[in-house]
Chains A and B, each alone.
Chain A
Amino acid sequence: MRHAIFLFSFAAVVLVTSLATAANAQTPAVGSTIENFTLSDTNGSSQSLNDLKGKNGAVVIFLSAQCPVVKGYHERINQLAADYQAKGINFIGINSNSTESLDWVKSNAVEYGFKFPVLIDKNNVLADKLGASVTPEVFYVDAKNTLLYHGAVDNDRSGKNVSENYLRTAFDDSLAGKKIAKTSASAFGCTIKRISE
């Protein structure tokens, strides 16, 4: 009996651990192709990566209405979107947080002045597919959906001491036909609140 209880407990721990691992799926490697996806925007209309991307690609950016780090970044994100949408790189916001309602996401997008669509990633399917875990977290793809850069917008949450503009530099290098020197960077942020949490 004790043996059976031990085996059952062991199996339960293995199962829970496997589920936890599944929630932190691997991010696609830089240079690999991101599969097209279709999600609903805050007005309920279906939108796809292939429809929304610009002639020079797109930035898929994971956002949160609740996260103070996103709040700290929203003006920089808007500036980047304005600067580079004009150069053919379109921004696509994604909200994968199970704790944030549609109304909240919608009003937050207005409050932050996002001029790009914010799509609702119900059940964090896209976040799982891309291995996204933090907000804000960006995936910059070219017109063929090849992943060029993944990670942080820059190296300073506060915005007061930015010394590395990772995303802007990646845009500039790519648009100039140069090899992107830094293709990924991590930074502190809010963890995406998945349904399995």
Chain B
Amino acid sequence: MKSGRSILAVFLITFFLSIVAVGQTSVIQTTASPTSGSATPTVAKIDALELKRLIRPKGKPLLVNFWATWCDPCREEFPELVKINNDYKGKIDFITISLDDLADINSAVPQFLTEMKAEMPAYLLVTSDEESAISSVSKDWSGGLPFTLLINEKGGTAYFRQGKVRPEILRGELTKLTTSPAAGDR
């Protein structure tokens, strides 16, 4: 009788765990970010005006990476950026802005982001006035890709890099911005 109860208990626990697991799977599938996992990421088209709005921080430090699929250094540094996004998730906002042709918005760009397992919100900039777009982002940017900009929550530039980021420096700045002064004193 005792062993019968044990078998029933094991069965019930297994059944319960299976339901939880199935539930979890369905949650992951239904709430997955459009830029994550195996689902095809959504890349939103933006213009220069939307770009200006997007690069304003909204209560958290904001990391912005400008890139393109045709840019080899951009592709090379992307895995590190994905790691950074995972490591600082919730503490910062991180967006990527592609300078690919509009024709690639549903093909090459999302394909690469899928390959990278990139979960950052992804945009593609379309503008007839590149000069104005570049100068609206940073006076230190001459248009070379990749370009990465870290903006503190007050809107000041904490770090920028034209060319591949130096991960240790970027991480140092991110840690400074995401660590409260009280925590820093400890």
In the complex, the answer to whether A187 meets B131 with C-beta atoms within 8 Å is: yes
In the complex, the answer to whether A133 meets B162 with C-beta atoms within 8 Å is: yes
In the complex, the answer to whether B128 meets A189 with C-beta atoms within 8 Å is: no
In the complex, the answer to whether A188 meets B143 with C-beta atoms within 8 Å is: yes
Residues of chain B at interface, number, CB under 8 A? 27
In the complex, the answer to whether B143 meets A155 with C-beta atoms within 8 Å is: no
Query: Is B73 close to A, CB under 8 A?
Result: yes
Query: Is B156 close to A, CB under 8 A?
Result: no
In the complex, the answer to whether B142 meets A186 with C-beta atoms within 8 Å is: yes
In the complex, the answer to whether B128 meets A188 with C-beta atoms within 8 Å is: no
Report the stretch among A16-24, A35-43, A44-52, A82-90 that lies at the interface.
A16-24
In the complex, the answer to whether B146 meets A66 with C-beta atoms within 8 Å is: no
Given contacts A13-B169, A16-B169, contact A188 B162 (CB under 8 A): no
Chain A residue nearest to B130 (CB atoms) is A187
Output the least CB separation between B163 and chain A (Å): 5
Say which residue of B70, B73, B134 sits within 8 Å of A193 (CB atoms): B73
Residues of chain A at interface, number, CB under 8 A? 29
In the complex, the answer to whether A188 meets B101 with C-beta atoms within 8 Å is: no
Output the least CB separation between A93 and chain B (Å): 18
Chain A residue nearest to B169 (CB atoms) is A16
Given contacts A66-B72, A155-B128, contact A188 B145 (CB under 8 A): yes
Q: Could you give 21 example pairs across A and B, Cβ below 8 Å? A: A13-B172, A24-B140, A68-B71, A133-B144, A133-B162, A134-B143, A134-B144, A155-B128, A155-B129, A161-B128, A186-B134, A186-B142, A186-B143, A188-B68, A188-B144, A189-B143, A189-B145, A191-B73, A191-B146, A191-B162, A191-B163
Residues of A whose CB lies within 8 Å of any CB of B are 13, 16-17, 20, 24, 66, 68-69, 133-134, 137, 152, 155-158, 161, 163, 185-194, 197
